[in-house]
Amino acid sequence: MVYIVDSHALVWFLEGNDRLGETAKAMLADPDARLVIPSIVLAEIAYLYNRKRIKANVRQVLADVASADNCTVYPLDERVAERIPDGLELHDAIVVATAIVYRDVLGEDVAVITKDASIANSGLVAVLW
């Protein structure tokens, strides 16, 4: 299975935040789990760090991702852009569209690691928390 990681899940994991769900924490810590970080997640981390809302900076996150054999950064490419769903905030829609690419184009079993209710309630992709 491929796990698409939302911004807060990644930040909370890296910061050791107690708000991270136990199942999400287990998947993020599992060296055999295939983790995909949508590029929009990196952009949001940079934005939040610059606004001093989080401690994790994008350079450190990129270093952490690069050192993990099971992590991939997926770009906002034309396949994602073509699958952006209506009804979600843009960031959430890009995360979901990335999951849809992995599911529908690449033929992978996929779940999004997120606490975001709008993604979970959309019914567009499986959610893990």
Q: What is the set of domains in the chain, with CATH numbers?
A: 2-128 (3.40.50.1010)
| Predicted local confidence at residue 67, as pLDDT | 87
Name the stretches of the chain with pLDDT < 50: none
Query: What pairing do the DSSP bridges indicate for beta strands 110-113 and 2-5?
Result: parallel
Q: What are phi and psi of 5, to 5 degrees?
A: -105, 125
Distance CA(112)–CA(56), nearest Å, equals 21
- Predicted pLDDT at 60: 85
